[in-house]
């Protein structure tokens, strides 16, 4: 019926059958079916267009990280761009934001760039170029999802308290894991200035709990009853969520206390995770070269491999096979989660 009135293009059905296709594109995202894994590759054209628009080529130095934190002195001397340059910047920022939906390594940096959309400055342009130089060496990102049996939904939450040097607002980061697979990540600036790290971490936990319950509802539509566990590295946030009411606290927003009821009724469970193995840190903090190799050595070991991309510099990719061999357990399997990535 639709073919009689509209011009349609059939891409086939992705699946294991002999008549099924093994690769197709959905919104320019490349999906692949293999007997071992299901692959999802972010749209590579968006990165190419960003690099082309910023006039970057192979002669430019490749950046090890997608962004760096600006100094306070740099922000104080920052100059707003001429009005004629605002439209071009907003277009590039929007493209970076669209690409970051499938690139966890770009989410924090793209979020910070988009915060300058209303009034672009020289600092924001420098941050955009830094991302472009990072993409020169990290053009492709492929998520690989091995077949698994999942028992529940795990949501990880982390917050960078007062991390913005301009507004002193905090950043909430998180990821939703279904079994051992990453199915959603986010990095967002909290709308209000928090007065303590516990308050900021609690707001991040509230957002993570909402995401977990949302995916639980989706799974119920498919006929699966999946429990939800929310993980945080903050003892204060865990204590507030398992308590009743505000207690001695006087500056929390009361509309976030619905989490306490969900914990009491058993709808969600709140668990504690060590900060250096919390995968949500990828979205709440800006990755640095030092954190890639020193500070987060334990984090890289236990992260889903798809998230490890944030902490691996280009020169570290050559030793990926050796590192995986070192992480092999006695039974020959790699410890931690089983997502994989592949760089182009």
Stated pTM of the model? 0.80
Question: Cβ of 330: how many Cβ atoms within 10 Å?
Answer: 5
Residue 24 φ/ψ, nearest 5 degrees: -155, 170
Tens place of pLDDT for every residue, the chain, 344 residues? 777 888 877 778 898 888 899 999 888 899 999 999 999 999 989 999 999 999 998 889 999 999 888 888 888 899 999 999 999 999 999 999 999 999 999 999 999 999 999 999 999 999 999 999 999 999 999 999 998 988 899 999 999 999 898 899 999 999 999 988 999 999 999 998 988 899 999 999 999 999 999 999 999 999 999 999 999 999 999 998 988 877 777 778 778 889 999 999 999 999 999 988 899 988 888 765 444 433 333 333 334 443 443 333 333 333 333 333 333 333 333 333 334 333 32
Q: Using an 8 Å Cβ cutoff, are 93 and 113 in contact?
A: yes
Domains in the chain: ranges and CATH: 2-34 (no CATH), 44-137 (no CATH), 150-344 (3.30.420.10)
pLDDT value at position 150?
Answer: 87
Spatial CB neighbours of 38, under 8 Å, sequence gap ≥ 6: 31, 32, 144, 145, 147
Q: Which of 95, 97, 93 is nearest to 117 (CA)?
A: 93
Distances (CA, A) of 136 to 57, 61, 169: 8, 8, 31
Q: How far apart are CA 117 and CA 86, in angstroms?
A: 8
Q: Which of 319, 249, 308, 242 is nearest to 281 (CA)?
A: 308
SS3 231: strand
The dihedral over CA atoms of 24, 94, 286, 130, expressed in degrees to the nearest 10, equals: 100
Is the Cα dihedral 190, 275, 40, 51 positive or negative?
positive
pLDDT value at position 76?
Answer: 87
């Amino acid at each position: 019926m639709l073919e009689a009135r509209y011009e349609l293009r059939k891409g086939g059905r992705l699946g294991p059958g002999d008549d099924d296709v093994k690769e197709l594109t959905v919104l320019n995202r490349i999906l692949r079916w293999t007997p071992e894994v299901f692959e999802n590759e972010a749209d590579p054209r968006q990165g190419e267009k960003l690099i082309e628009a910023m006039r970057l080529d192979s002669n430019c130095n490749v950046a090890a990280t997608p962004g760096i934190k600006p100094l306070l002195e740099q922000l104080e001397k920052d100059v707003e761009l001429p009005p004629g340059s605002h439209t071009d910047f907003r277009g590039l920022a929007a493209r970076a934001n669209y690409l970051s939906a499938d690139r966890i390594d770009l989410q924090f940096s793209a979020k910070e760039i988009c915060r300058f959309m209303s009034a672009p400055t020289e600092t924001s342009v420098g941050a955009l170029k830094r991302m472009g130089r990072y993409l020169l060496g990290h053009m492709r990102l492929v998520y690989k999802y091995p077949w698994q049996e999942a028992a529940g939904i795990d949501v990880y939450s982390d917050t960078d308290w007062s991390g913005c040097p301009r507004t002193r607002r905090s950043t909430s980061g998180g990821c939703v894991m279904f079994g051992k697979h990453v199915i959603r990540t986010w990095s967002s600036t909290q709308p209000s200035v928090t007065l303590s790290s516990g308050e900021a971490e609690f707001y991040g936990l509230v957002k993570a709990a909402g995401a977990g319950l949302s995916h639980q509802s989706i799974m119920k539509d498919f006929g699966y009853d999946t429990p939800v566990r929310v993980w945080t590295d903050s003892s204060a946030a865990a204590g507030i969520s398992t308590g009743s009411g505000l207690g001695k606290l006087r500056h929390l927003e009361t509309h976030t206390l619905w989490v306490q009821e969900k914990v009491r009724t058993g709808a969600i469970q709140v668990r504690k995770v060590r900060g250096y193995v919390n995968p949500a840190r990828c979205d709440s903090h800006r990755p640095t070269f030092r954190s890639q190799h020193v500070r987060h050595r334990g984090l890289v070991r236990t992260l889903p491999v798809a998230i490890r991309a944030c902490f691996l510099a280009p020169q570290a990719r050559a030793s990926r096979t050796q590192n995986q061999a070192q992480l092999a357990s006695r039974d020959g399997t790699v410890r931690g989660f089983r997502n994989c990535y592949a760089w182009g």
